[in-house]
Amino acid sequence: MTGPALRLTGVVLPDEARRELWVRDGAITFEPVPGAETVCRRGFILPGLVDAHCHIGLVPDVIAADRETQLAQAHAERDAGALLVRDAGVPVDTRWLQARDDVPRIIRAGRHLARTRRYIRGLAIELEPADLPAASQQQAHAGDGWVKLVGDWIDRETGDLAPEWPADALTEAVRRAHQAGAKVAVHSFGEEALPDLIAAGVDSIEHGTGLTEELLGPMAAQHTALVPTLINIDNLPSIADGAARFPVYAERMRRLHGTSRIRLRAAYEAGVPIYAGTDAGTMLPHGRIAEEIRELHLAGMSIVDALAAGSWGARRWLGRPGIEEGAPADLVVYDDDPRVDITALARPAHIVLRGRVTR
């Protein structure tokens, strides 16, 4: 559906120049459009924010969300300014949302792939290592260019985090996903699984609380991204509190939380690409991307790099345009400069999605 012609004036980020831009037929243009409706005459205009790790379609305990809940989750992301989301694995088919013009653009990853009885019950496709490569190839075709693996989880026999896959199965699974044109995102909390994951060539490490100094160089060299999901990592102590039966695991989770910001800062200083994701849908509600971007900054990223991690930089990583001629008109406008006060991200003045003003 084509929206009305629009006109916006303000400081365009990341260019930092005061500009006028127009929206015609749902796309950005820098050529004047006669009769365009004025949205703003001042402010700071960003490409739509990006939640690069969320789960529209997932509800804690219930697991599979119904369609009414899925739509509410998508609207919460939109209203927070997250106009592009990378689904990090859900147990339901959300393709129906992609046909709507009132929700963010969604890049789907299909189902999680996890070891049998080594993940949240009902959430993943559970399988053994011999079956992982074929399943990875299948999910590469089922999603929108991403496959989601569970790299480690609690092993109840040992009572601690442990890797889920042997190196040979991982390497072949990643190879097949890449051959099918998809990238691979991997959940990882602990230290032990990461060397094999990075050596296998995965494309992003989700959470990454176990990253060690010796892994940061290889990650940076091969452009393996980190999506740290800091606001959900802050739930690790409560997870530990609920795991009294496994004291070693509980202690590990508390320690990983305690060092999460230090490890993120080390990854940033080493040149590892970092992007903002909330992990909403697991233990957190949707619509909190502004908080995650703020936490990236507080953990040590420059304010501009933190903004990029949740906007134009993340869009470029995911193969989506920012503010440029002919790009889809997905924009967020702020009255206050988020480069000066990053909390301004929680106060969008105007949101334009697919060329239509939603706020």
Shared domain check, 107 and 11: no
Confidence of residue 142 (pLDDT cuts 50, 70, 90): very high
Do residues 161 and 246 both lie within one domain?
yes
Percent of residues, the chain, with pLDDT higher than 90 = 97
Residue 299 lies in a domain: yes
SS3 160: strand
Tell me if 152 is assigned to some domain.
yes
pLDDT for residue 62: 81
The answer to whether residue 109 sits within a structural domain is: yes
Residues 6+ apart with CB under 8 A from 258: none
Whether 1 maps to a domain, the answer reads: no
DSSP 219-283: HHHTT-EEE--HHHHTTHHHHHHT-TT-HHHHHHHHHHHHTHHHHHHHHHHTT--B-----BTSS
264 part of a folded domain: yes
CA 208 to centroid of chain Cα atoms: 13
Q: Are residues 155 and 290 in the same domain?
A: yes
Q: What is the pLDDT of residues 309-350, one digit of tens each?
A: 999 999 999 999 999 999 999 999 999 999 999 999 999 999
- Residue 110 confidence (pLDDT): 85
Handedness of CA 313, 316, 320, 321 (dihedral sign): positive
pLDDT > 80? residue 266: yes
Residues 187 and 333 in one domain: no
Same structural domain, 29 and 156:
no
Let me know whether 298 and 237 are in one domain: yes
196 and 341 part of one domain: no
Helix (H) or strand (E) holding 213: helix 213-221
- Per DSSP, the residues of 290-332 read HHHHHHHHHTT--HHHHHHHTTHHHHHHTT---S-TT-B--EE
Mean pLDDT of the chain: 97
| 91 & 213 share domain | yes
Q: Domain range for residue 14?
A: 6-46+322-357
Residue 187 and residue 229 in one domain:
yes
DSSP label at residue 217: H
Count CB neighbours of 91 within 10 A.
18
Does residue 126 share a domain with residue 71? yes
Same domain, 164 and 27: no
Buried b (16+ CB within 10 A) or exposed e, 335-350: eeebbeebebbbebbb
Give the total number of structural domains in the chain: 2
On whether residue 340 sits in a domain, the answer given is yes
pTM of this prediction? Answer: 0.96
Kindly state whether residue 328 falls inside one of the protein's structural domains.
yes
Give the CATH number, domain containing residue 22: 2.30.40.10
